[in-house]
Structure 1
Amino acid sequence: MTLNLHMSNSNVPSSPFFTLNKNHRLQYSRVLVTSVASEHAVRVTPELFRTNGVDRKSYAIYNDGRKTSVQNVDPEELKPLWDDGYGTQTIKDYAEIAMDLIKSDHGGPPRWFCPVACGKPIKNSPVLLYLPGMDGTGAGLVVHEKALGKVFQVQCLHIPASDRTPLKGLIQIVEEIVRIEHTTSPDKPIYLLGDSFGGNLALAVAARNPTIDLILILANPATSYETTLERPLMSLLRDLPMSPLLSDFVNMSMVEISDANYSSSLWHLFGNLAEDLPVHSVAARILPKDTLTWKLKLVESAAAYANSRLHAITAEVLVLASGKDNFMPCNNEAQRLSRLLKHCNVRMFQGNGHTILLESGVNLLSTIKTTQMYRHSSKYDVFKDFLPISMTEFKTSPLENWWYRLCIGTAVFSTMEDGKIVRGLAGIPDKGPVLVVGNHMLWGFDAFSVVLEFLREKKITLHGLAHPEIYQIRVEDEFIMIPYTDAVKILGAIPVSPRNLFRLLSRNSYALLYPGGARESLHRKGEAYKLFWPDKEEFVRMAVKLGATIIPFGAVGEDDLSELIIDYNDMKKIPFFDQKVNEYNQGRTNLREGMGGEIAQQPLHIPIFLPKLPGRYYFLFGKPIQTKGKEHMLDDKNYLRELYMQIKCDVEKNIDYLLTKREDDPYRGIVERFMWLMNCGSLDQIPSFEP
């Protein structure tokens, strides 16, 4: 097909490539030039987008001025604890990239580019189009580029400072790329990541294209601009080249400091602040006064346009709202949008300012994952769309804080093929499918310790089979439940069901199953370490059919950390608690309903307990039970029953073993563990009893 391109030499960069810096760290890939504001615009066609954009076969960059072809070798699927690069690029990189982009503008029109830091995404990744805020540089994604680039085909919109493309023209630029992508991949979603003004632009495009599968990520969208015009800050914005009040310097400087190491990084923070403050002076060059005046008018018209069309938006929307935004009332605006939009989810970040994507405490990819908005096709699939935990997610998890690990003091043992018990997970097979089966302790928090140990020692994702209610949070429970459910999802939990267990094992995965379920984790007084398993051998037949290795394990330690004060039986005797329990369970799912016996008594409730001076969690993984080659025994009910009872018996034996042996542990108490840590160092090496 012949391409009809009409370019004006004065409006198009002299090269379709940019070399942003002499070092390799800040290079950018081929730029797609497009504008509809000029009669000399480049007309974007599918062929041009595939050829002059970052195409599906290869793309080209300049390495110190030398053109290099990068072949399309799809990266391997992400492995647990993959490097997401968070903190390796900061506000300093943003300023440097933005200035290099401005120097390379040459009066050109708006254009798309893909940061080389994004690299090549994993196979079948969806497209993500980044729409910048008032700065227009497109560099505002710098903190998240490496992580997003692993799972998205990222394209960033750059609007030169001298460009005066009106709102309608900008909408058409985005709209045209959206329609091209939809034509080439009609079954895949298209992500629009709108930052402030870019959020308004994303909403406008979504309103005009209700039949296209769009997913909108809006970072402090400027839809409330019309109600912000009378705020005192607006006069400062109009009078100054760029107000520093829009930025949270401290949060920006903390990006490269791990959340887990704040206490030891105070001087590092002060050093970053001193280095970063001069960087903010580039704002005046990015947005000179005449450009700022134009951009403010653009924001105002975009807000009016988007607000008048919210009713037409059918796309999924995720709003990221800051609690310390000095520019706009983002908290209230996020709630307003959630009421007006058909499919809107809101995540609040109370400690952040307006420039939320450049600040610490916001892991954009994690938020997309935990809201289950990352997908490759028209419908979310908990298996196909799962992304394993990254190194940053692992290190910044509250469950990895040194004080939490010290309090829990997890001691793990496993059993080798010859029956020998060893410290650690050496007895766990290195290849799946593996089904880990054991007992729940109070609240079920013990599952976190098991999954984290598998990640820490084996670099394996152990998929816990969790109660479906975790994935169906009611609005009134969000504030309490979101941190818990986010951790569950990040660690790879899957809603429990026979079908999901089959899918896990058929993928040679590692699955964690608690046959006692909610009844066991919300047990009554005097029932600690008692198994509440169903009479039917639910999981055994499936494990045998798929040749899975079964690992029975026992867990103890809940009585070392807490004491149950008011259980379910007590609550039923107190009218107030009884009413609350009944209300809480109204409309909720009972997975064991109709089974009969104790296992069917699974009302969800919140038992009241008192914390104790922390003791220690202990886990013993029993000898692996091989089922591979036993497929011919599937119709032998006696074999399946005996295998089921063997697994249950092994779990009980492991529990009894730990209850006895923990009495010989000199580091069972937190004081002893703390003293050892001060003298010797690592949380991974705190001794326990000799197996």
Structure 2
Amino acid sequence: MASMGKLFAPLVLLNPKHKPCYPVWVASRNTISVINNCFKKKKIVQEKLEPLWDDGYGTQTAKDFLEAAKDMIMPDNGPPRWLCPIECGSPIKNSPVLLFLPGIDGLGMGLIVHHKALGKVFEVQCMHIPIDDRTPFEGLVKFVSEKVRSEHALFPNRPIYLVGESFGGCLALSVAAFNPTIDLVVILANPATSFSRSQLQPMFPFMEACPKELHKFLPHIFGLSLGNPIKMANVNVHSPFSPAKKLENLFHDVKVLVEGATLLADLLPKETLSWKFKLLKSGAAHANSHLHAVKSEVLVLASCMDCMLPSAAEAGRLLDSLENCKVRYFYDNGHALLVEDGINLLSVIKGTSKYRRSKTHDFVSDFIPPSKSEFKGLSTELLGIFRLATSPAMFSTLETGKIVRGLSGIPDQGPVLLVGNHMFFGAEIGGLVEEYLREKKIVLHGAAHPEIFAENIEAPLQVISGFDMFRVFGAVPVTARNFYKLLLNKCHVVLYPGGVREALHRKGEKYKLFWPEEPEFVRMALKFGAKIVPFGVVGEDDIQEQFLDYNDVINIPIIKEMIKTRNNVTAKVMTRTHMTGEVGNQDFFIPGIYPKIPGRFYFLLGKPIETKGREELLKNREACKELYLQIQSEITRNMEYLLKKREEDPYRHLFERTIYRALLAPVDQIPAFDP
């Protein structure tokens, strides 16, 4: 019974009514106690997550999958069932259910890398198919459908998530087709709907006809086609070890994973392997014949280096075949996508706006703060070289009027509204959001142009993009409704009244404001008593020079037609559709620029303007306009201050900053001028 106790250490078995259960062969009283105690822990409910919460990414890897598999491959003569991994912990309040449907292995542990993160915002349950089970595909569809209907009856207003890996993708699509009235969000990782076009198709007859004596060699071939062992082992190199220790762990994990291929011989004995191929074939045929009936939201995650299935091409086919489908590519990953490095499943769900707790997605109420690993990715991957090149220097203003380095002048308690100038292409926003999280551990929500969230801005098939990361780090479409909700929830918000016209300004318009006549945001700030922080930022002239602007490209007939056509389908900021003049010109276009040796970005956040207790201004149109002009004047003054003071910065130029960073300090600690 020792191995049984080990089996249940990471798992709780559930019946359809959410009560703990266990196979008939579990007789140890201690094991049953572990199950019940673990289940009680699942009942602890958190209200919300704080920014930079620990998502556990990298603490479990494909090596842990192999360890779990060793304890789960024993035959038990039982039917398919649902497992609840203990690593998932306790989800936040009103979390939706996530049902994981496994690949050909049937173990149900394919999400092991993501258990801790997903368990914070989902009720995670994983389907387990014992190795000696022979339930046909239609029976598995019925089994999952019954679970879906049971969960829907319990929480009819919440979505149900189906995450299908490989074979599980076929199962998820078939279940969605047979339950069109239930709100399902279907996430497919390299779905096996392309099984008939598999690269291994010529080998399948040989695998089935292979004598038992030679069967032990087949798992090595089959295992190597599942994924890249380097990518699998690379998941935990993000842990806080020394470089030497990380390298040692990497080599050890690769060795374990390569040796672990022999485990497939136990997991998939000859009779089971033959059955699995038949199941895959029938599942792919069943799912493909019912694609027309799938009405659910579908997100396809496709690996370009999949050696088992033509997943990249299949993603395009599913995009054309399904009504409501998105695709994200992963260029360097193999078939076993969910246990490889380079994908944080929760980040993907958040970044594609798929996470919701009700019938529709709400950018404010459904927002999940960024985790530690996501923040690290922002600093090292998304901003990366650009952050190193521009080395943002942040200054803020205390209540006394004193200017200090850092953000200590910014109030911790919201609502707080930062209002400032846009640099070219909004290049400053990433550094501001990052520093806010680093120093204050507060999410700064960017009120962004609705076009960033529009479907037509995405390539039909794309990798996880910067636009996805905007959503992960709190950007919302700039609408009156979202603005109202953010201030109501006492959030910190950054707003650019100049919009696209200011972000895509013309030659000779650096650091010039293009604001509308009416005070669009002042009344809302007064209504909620928000503190308004006017800020200025300079530095764009140190990184690029514009040689073709809107006035130039609009005179080229072909390009002019392309710009007009593109902007006719562009999402608009509704409050500006009626405006005339320059501020009403919100056309998107690609200017001609050439880069310079990077200079430095400088931010000055002014003294907070208190609006609490000044509600009488709401009835005074002239007083609102006066406050509006005061904010505009403060921003201009801040920019002028920075343009003058940056001349005193000994580390303004890239060479000096690079030397200082290499020898003495990280990017965020490089000195600047004395304020």
Q: What is the TM-score normalised by the length of structure 2? A: 0.92
Q: Distance in 1 between matches of 2:313 and 2:179?
A: 27
Larger mean Cα displacement after TM superposition, 71-80 or 602-611 = 71-80
Counterpart contact for 2:92–2:120, Cα < 8 Å: yes
Aligned 1:186-585 pairs, distance under 5 A = 186-228=156-198, 231-235=201-205, 237-238=207-208, 239=210, 240=215, 241-242=218-219, 243-244=222-223, 245-258=225-238, 268-397=249-378, 403-474=385-456, 477=459, 483-585=465-567
2:665 matches 1:685? no
2:617 matches 1:637? no
Output the amino acid matched with 1:296: F
Counterpart contact for 2:396–2:405, Cα < 8 Å: yes
Instruction: For residue 117 of structure 1, report the CA deviation from its aligned partner.
Output: 0.2
Residues 259 and 310 from structure 1, CA distance in 2 versus in 1: closer, same or farther, beyond 3 angstroms? Answer: farther
Instruction: For residue 163 of structure 1, report the CA deviation from its aligned partner.
Output: 1.2
Counterpart contact for 1:61–1:67, Cα < 8 Å: no
Deviations 1:216-263 (A, max 9, x none): 111111111123387334356544443122222111111112399999
Instruction: For residue 379 of structure 1, report the CA deviation from its aligned partner.
Output: 1.1
Counterpart contact for 1:29–1:62, Cα < 8 Å: no
Deviations 1:384-443 (A, max 9, x none): 211111111111235566533220110000000000000000000010000000000101
Instruction: For residue 377 of structure 1, report the CA deviation from its aligned partner.
Output: 1.0
Larger mean Cα displacement after TM superposition, 143-152 or 587-596 = 587-596
Q: Name 1:96's counterpart in structure 2.
A: 67
Output the amino acid matched with 1:650: E
Q: Distance in 1 between matches of 2:161 and 2:405?
A: 46
Q: Name 1:654's counterpart in structure 2.
A: 638
Residues 676 and 602 from structure 1, CA distance in 2 versus in 1: closer, same or farther, beyond 3 angstroms? Answer: same
Output the amino acid matched with 1:19: G
Q: Name 1:11's counterpart in structure 2.
A: none
Residues 516 and 106 from structure 1, CA distance in 2 versus in 1: closer, same or farther, beyond 3 angstroms? Answer: same
Output the amino acid matched with 1:457: E
2:578 corresponds to which of 591, 594, 605? 594
Counterpart contact for 1:464–1:511, Cα < 8 Å: yes
Query: Matched residue of 2:281: which SS?
Result: helix
Q: Name 2:25's counterpart in structure 1.
A: none
Q: Distance in 1 between matches of 2:239 and 2:596?
A: 27
Counterpart contact for 1:250–1:273, Cα < 8 Å: yes
Instruction: For residue 632 of structure 1, report the CA deviation from its aligned partner.
Output: 2.5
Counterpart contact for 1:552–1:623, Cα < 8 Å: yes
Larger mean Cα displacement after TM superposition, 390-399 or 407-416 = 390-399
Output the amino acid matched with 2:377: T
Deviations 1:533-583 (A, max 9, x none): 111111111101110000000000000111111100111222333233223
Query: Matched residue of 2:413: which SS?
Result: coil
Counterpart contact for 1:30–1:61, Cα < 8 Å: no
Residues 259 and 115 from structure 1, CA distance in 2 versus in 1: closer, same or farther, beyond 3 angstroms? Answer: closer
Query: Matched residue of 2:12: which SS?
Result: coil
Deviations 1:613-649 (A, max 9, x none): 0100000000010011111221022321221111111
Counterpart contact for 1:473–1:481, Cα < 8 Å: no
Q: Distance in 2 between matches of 1:413 and 1:624?
A: 13
Q: Distance in 2 between matches of 1:476 and 1:437?
A: 28
Q: Distance in 2 between matches of 1:608 and 1:262?
A: 44
Residues 134 and 186 from structure 1, CA distance in 2 versus in 1: closer, same or farther, beyond 3 angstroms? Answer: same
2:96 corresponds to which of 84, 109, 126? 126
Q: Name 1:618's counterpart in structure 2.
A: 602
Q: Distance in 2 between matches of 1:237 and 1:178?
A: 35
Q: Name 1:158's counterpart in structure 2.
A: 128
Instruction: For residue 491 of structure 1, report the CA deviation from its aligned partner.
Output: 1.1
Counterpart contact for 2:448–2:476, Cα < 8 Å: yes
Q: Name 1:8's counterpart in structure 2.
A: none
What is the RMSD computed on CA atoms of the aligned residues?
2.5
Q: Name 1:38's counterpart in structure 2.
A: none
Q: Distance in 1 between matches of 2:156 and 2:459?
A: 37
The 4+ residue runs of structure 1 with deviation greater than 6 A are 259-264
Counterpart contact for 1:406–1:670, Cα < 8 Å: no
Query: Matched residue of 1:485: which SS?
Result: helix
Counterpart contact for 2:328–2:461, Cα < 8 Å: no
Output the amino acid matched with 2:6: L
> Any stretches of 5+ residues in structure 1 without a counterpart?
1-13, 34-43, 54-59
Output the amino acid matched with 1:423: R
Residues 461 and 565 from structure 1, CA distance in 2 versus in 1: closer, same or farther, beyond 3 angstroms? Answer: same
Q: Distance in 2 between matches of 1:359 and 1:625?
A: 48
Residues 61 and 354 from structure 1, CA distance in 2 versus in 1: closer, same or farther, beyond 3 angstroms? Answer: farther
Q: Distance in 2 between matches of 1:70 and 1:210?
A: 34
Query: Matched residue of 1:151: which SS?
Result: coil
Aligned 1:8-157 pairs, distance under 5 A = 19-20=5-6, 27-32=9-14, 48-50=17-19, 52=21, 67-68=36-37, 69-70=40-41, 72-103=43-74, 105-157=75-127
Q: Distance in 1 between matches of 2:571 and 2:672?
A: 41
Q: Distance in 2 between matches of 1:518 and 1:84?
A: 35
Counterpart contact for 1:233–1:327, Cα < 8 Å: no
Instruction: For residue 127 of structure 1, report the CA deviation from its aligned partner.
Output: 0.5
Query: Matched residue of 2:107: which SS?
Result: coil
Q: What is the TM-score normalised by the length of structure 1? A: 0.90
State the number of aligned residues: 653
Output the amino acid matched with 2:202: P
Larger mean Cα displacement after TM superposition, 543-552 or 227-236 = 227-236
Counterpart contact for 2:326–2:460, Cα < 8 Å: no
Q: Name 1:5's counterpart in structure 2.
A: none
Deviations 1:428-487 (A, max 9, x none): 001000000000010112111111110111111110000000111427745689612112
Q: Distance in 2 between matches of 1:197 and 1:275?
A: 25
Output the amino acid matched with 1:257: V
> Any stretches of 5+ residues in structure 2 without a counterpart?
23-28
Q: Distance in 1 between matches of 2:10 and 2:419?
A: 49
Counterpart contact for 2:58–2:239, Cα < 8 Å: no
Deviations 1:157-185 (A, max 9, x none): 11111111121221121111111111111
Q: Name 1:663's counterpart in structure 2.
A: 647
Query: Matched residue of 1:20: which SS?
Result: helix
Counterpart contact for 1:434–1:508, Cα < 8 Å: yes
Q: Distance in 1 between matches of 2:357 and 2:381?
A: 30
Q: Distance in 2 between matches of 1:184 and 1:499?
A: 30
Residues 480 and 688 from structure 1, CA distance in 2 versus in 1: closer, same or farther, beyond 3 angstroms? Answer: farther
Deviations 1:49-89 (A, max 9, x none): 45659xxxxxx995995852437331240111111111100
Residues 440 and 671 from structure 1, CA distance in 2 versus in 1: closer, same or farther, beyond 3 angstroms? Answer: same
Residues 233 and 353 from structure 1, CA distance in 2 versus in 1: closer, same or farther, beyond 3 angstroms? Answer: farther
Q: Distance in 2 between matches of 1:459 and 1:282?
A: 44
Q: Name 2:590's counterpart in structure 1.
A: 606
Deviations 1:252-310 (A, max 9, x none): 11111239999985565334323432233222211122111111111101111111111
